[in-house]
Chain A
Amino acid sequence: MGPITSAPGFPVWLDLLIAFLIGIGFGFSLEQAGFSSSRKLAGMFYGYDTTVLKVFFTAAIVALIGSQFLSYFGLLNLNLVFVNEYYVTASIVGGVIMGAGFIMGGFCPGTGVSAMSIGKIDALFYVLGGLAGAFLFAETYPLIQPLADNAYRGPVKINDVFGISPGLFTLLLVIAAAGMFWVAELAEKKFARPDITGEI
């Protein structure tokens, strides 16, 4: 029963090797999706290219559905899968800062590294900026710690907040995503910029 590496005595080097292999899959799918292009990513916010929305929601939903089926068949213990802890203030403030960084830099960290690997110089600067940001955070940590630890709620699951089963929430999420995909494709027609999309 998964997760496999949670078995006692699982060798560390194999764990790290697996991380590397998963990273390869991660980088490969990001690049194939076109996330190595900052103008494609930024297109999300001007309507001419909504690949980000499609890939992002498809991926989240595929993993969500897959993990629940694995759990139903007794193959994966979801109690041993990490659930992100909810720090209300930090999530919101951090999210806003990330949104600003996204629209300025045109990447997020994963896509930035992936784009850097195929030779995008802007991505290289983005990653360097990211390292600077991490350094800055470490140095300003004592100042920002109260904010970061404020309003801790623990690893809350969203279906528990609404009081419905995980399966039902998944269905609602799929319906919402299907609606968004449809709107996104309409938007792509309305805000089409063939001059940009032809180039990227």
Chain B
Amino acid sequence: MKTKYMNPYLAGTLLGLVLLSAMYISGRGLGASGGLKYCVVSVVGAVDKPHAEKSVYYSKYFEEGQKPLFNWLTMIIFGVLAGGFVSGAVSKRLQFKIEKSPGISNTRRLIFAFIGGAFFVYGAQLARGCTSGAALSGMAVLSVAGFVTMITIFGSAYLFAWFFRKNWI
């Protein structure tokens, strides 16, 4: 079987080296959900400043004149956008497309994508990290939290897989 993507083991090694350099250079792991949160925080701060300053949650991001948009995790997100684009351009995969099982409609796919995203990032905020921030980076530093998050994400996705099989196959 031939695929147009990089060999998964090679890609995994590449990703591992990126993670290792993040650890070596800045002592942190990778993270994606955190960047999304900072985007939201800065939008809320721009739209409704009094609300942001009053709320227990938002206020800690504005202490001492911090700018949530200029943050390590937000920069990672911008980097991911750029890096993904470069990779897509190199491998000629740039194309507007809705990817789904032929059995379902575009609307259904988009609705599920939206709900899925909301669920995922909500859970990631609760667990203080997503697949990259908690599970992948956590495992690389042998943190128990990383292993537990990894097992629960994949374990529960397997449990729920049966209900959503129409979406994918």
Contact = CB atoms under 8 A, between A and B. Distances in A.
B113 A125 contact: yes
A55 B17 contact: no
Interface string B129-162: 1111111111111111111111111111111110
B105 interface: no
B126 A137 contact: yes
Nearest to B11: A33
Given A62-B12, A80-B27, A86-B145, A108 B131 contact: yes
Contact of B151 (A44, A95, A123, A139): A95
Nearest to B79: A23
Contacts of B24: 2-4, 67, 70, 75-76
Contacts of A32: 5-6, 11, 14, 87, 91
A27 B79 contact: yes
Given A33-B11, A84-B145, A110-B80, A91 B152 contact: yes
B126 A158 contact: no
A174 B78 CA distance: 32
Contacts of A106: 99, 112-113, 116, 167-168
Interface of A: 2-6, 15-34, 36-40, 42-46, 48, 51, 54-64, 66-67, 70, 75-76, 78, 80-88, 90-110, 112-123, 125-139, 141-142, 144-145, 147-148, 153, 155-159, 161, 166, 169-170, 192-194, 196-197, 200
Interface of B: 1, 3, 5-6, 8-9, 11-30, 32-33, 35-37, 39-41, 44, 55-58, 70-73, 75-88, 91, 93-101, 109-161, 163-165, 167-169
